[in-house]
Chain A
Amino acid sequence: MQDVTHAWTVRVRADGPDDATAHARRHVLRLGAAAGFDAEAPLPSAVEALLAALGADLLSTFAATARRARLPHDALEAVLRCTLDNPLVHLGVIGETGSPRIAAIDGTFYVSSDAGTDDIERIWTLTRARSPLYTTLERSVALAVRLCPTP
């Protein structure tokens, strides 16, 4: 049995106003603004990275759960979207009230599998219960990720 007690460290360095480099063990990740509003921004924002992390978590947790249950699948894909309660507060617009918090995350989790829908749904339920990021976020955000089985 491997040691499942673990802590993770990420060191994030400021390289410029909207430019950060994160080091996670020997891996490097570059991110831009906190919440980017510029479609042409050269780096993904922290908000986008959070969605990416949630997506990657769900894909990996689903794959591991499916493997253990011997559920065959050909392809997995997640698409996630979010909005902020009041982005103007994040921008510091005077007179704006409320919170810049993420108001809601929704999206779709696509699974291509020859397995029956009931089996896929069972794995999906386990996935959500076993996903570190999903279980964290669902306590603080309106989180709705829809399962979409495809042939």
Chain B
Amino acid sequence: MPLPPLPPLPVTTVGSLPRSPELLRALKARRRGDLDRAGFDAVADAAVRDAVALQTAAGIDIVTDGEQRRDNFYSFVAEKLDGVRAMTLAEMLDHVEDKAGFERLLATLDVPAYAITNPTCVGPLARREPLAADELAFVRGLTDAPVKVPLPGPYLLTRAMWVPELTGRVYADKEALAEDVVALLRAEAEALAAGGAAVVQFDEPVLSELVFGRGQTRTFMCAALAARSDPEEELAFAVDLINRVAADLPVRTALHVCRGNWSRDERTLLSGGYAPLQPTFDALAVDELVLEYATPRAGAVVDPGAKALGLGVVNPRTDEIEAVDDIVARIRTALDVVPLDRLSINPDCGFGTFALRPMNDGARVDGKLRAMVAAARVVRDDPVG
């Protein structure tokens, strides 16, 4: 299906932006039960207006709502679905299979277990309200710009939700749970398409851990709870789920895969090029791959084949704003592999993947967004240099 028209070399984000102190206070008050939904929405609506204004002023072509309403990129679904409970990792420690490995992970990343919530499946899944269609409607009321909506991918969500001790009482196995996850996400993506989303992006960061993670420190909290099984089987399982959600949707689809975005300590993040994931990428029925290329950890640019590539050109986890010339050089290098009309520009990951653990502040985010926009303009005018 033809992709919706976008400007050449569109600049976008991976989704999340840091939350304001007021919003964080509201998020925590809501979690404690001290703030009702209407009270939270009032604070969050204002935050989304600011997030969209920041992107618009910076010249971002495809905007998001900054994931302002979400506590993190996947556990937010707990509030929208029946059968899912948001549990902090502190509450879940009793259920973690590999406790020693989990403790190593927490220590390496210097994180308290209370800081992360996981959407744990504790009953039959049912959609109580839209996961993101209302977020989209609100943003579309603020701007005429194309809007991207990130959703957790079906593999990530299945793996995070499946906690054998609790979920096993409801679903026979992970595969049975995945059936309902696929149906939910497919319905949501169709609603987003109908609601006028320009791009629906599925976040599947854990894919990289399957191929890069062996022998390296585990880097994804969201996968820490499931024992690792055979990577080849897991990848095939993941591809099947993603394709059943994303294939032939009447909207441009993207898949984001990175190597972790929890810590500013680069040593805690996975490293290595995406080449080991190339067969997986080739098998995916999505229009675009959104990948990180701003650090040397990421290796050479993969050939996305007929797909478009979202090229990560700024590191969300550093203080310094990338030089426009350096970004231009990165984009031109990528043009050796991907034609201009299939390339878009983005940061390596979100700036606030976890609300309570933002990777940067507003001023630096603004600087990095503007650097991307300036670089894209240079390359649009002069692709070769």
A39 CB–B CB distance under 8 Å: yes
Given A39-B100, A150-B356, A151-B356: A77 touches B28 (CB 8 Å cut-off):
no
Q: A74–B90 Cα gap in the complex (Å)?
A: 13
Partner of B110, one of A75, A112, A114, A148: A148
A77 & B110 in contact (Cβ 8 Å cutoff): no
A112 cross-chain contacts in B, Cβ below 8 A: 28, 112, 114-115, 356
Q: How far is the CB of A75 from chain B (nearest CB, A)?
A: 4
B100 cross-chain contacts in A, Cβ below 8 A: 39
Question: Could you tell me which residues of chain B, from 74 to 112, have a CB within 8 Å of some CB in chain A?
Answer: 88, 90, 100, 106-107, 110, 112
B113 CB–A CB distance under 8 Å: yes
Q: A150–B356 Cα gap in the complex (Å)?
A: 7
Partner of A108, one of B21, B25, B110, B115: B110
B170 CB–A CB distance under 8 Å: no
Given A74-B28, A74-B32, A79-B106: A110 touches B114 (CB 8 Å cut-off):
yes
Q: Number of B residues contacting the other chain (C-beta, 8 Å)? A: 18
Partner of B25, one of A75, A77, A114, A148: A114
Q: A77–B107 Cα gap in the complex (Å)?
A: 13
Partner of A75, one of B21, B114, B355: B114
B106 & A114 in contact (Cβ 8 Å cutoff): no
B90 cross-chain contacts in A, Cβ below 8 A: 75, 77
A150 & B28 in contact (Cβ 8 Å cutoff): no
B35 cross-chain contacts in A, Cβ below 8 A: none
A74 cross-chain contacts in B, Cβ below 8 A: 28, 32, 114
**Chain B interface main SS type:** helix
- For chain A, which range describes its interface: under 10, 10 to 19, 20 to 34, or 35 or more residues? 10 to 19
Q: How far is the CB of A28 from chain B (nearest CB, A)?
A: 19
**Chain A interface main SS type:** strand
Closest residue of A by beta carbon distance from B354: A151
Closest residue of A by beta carbon distance from B88: A75
B24 CB–A CB distance under 8 Å: yes
Q: A110–B25 Cα gap in the complex (Å)?
A: 17
Closest residue of A by beta carbon distance from B99: A39
Q: Mark A94-132, 1 if CB is under 8 A from B, else 0.
A: 000000000000001010101000000000000000000
Closest residue of A by beta carbon distance from B31: A74
Q: A110–B357 Cα gap in the complex (Å)?
A: 13
Q: How far is the CB of A82 from chain B (nearest CB, A)?
A: 14
Closest residue of B by beta carbon distance from A146: B110
B21 cross-chain contacts in A, Cβ below 8 A: 114
B interface residues with partner A (beta carbon < 8 Å): 21, 24-25, 28, 32, 88, 90, 100, 106-107, 110, 112-115, 355-357
A interface residues with partner B (beta carbon < 8 Å): 39, 74-75, 77, 79, 108, 110, 112, 114, 148, 150-151
15 CB contacts below 8 A, A to B, read: A74-B28, A74-B114, A75-B88, A75-B90, A75-B112, A75-B115, A77-B112, A79-B112, A108-B110, A110-B115, A114-B24, A114-B25, A148-B110, A150-B112, A151-B355
Closest 9 CB pairs of A and B: A110-B112, A75-B114, A77-B112, A151-B356, A151-B24, A74-B28, A114-B25, A77-B114, A150-B115
Known: A77-B112, A110-B115, A150-B115. 19 other contacts (CB 8 A): A39-B100, A74-B32, A74-B114, A75-B115, A77-B114, A79-B106, A108-B110, A110-B112, A110-B114, A112-B114, A112-B115, A114-B21, A114-B25, A114-B28, A148-B112, A151-B24, A151-B28, A151-B356, A151-B357
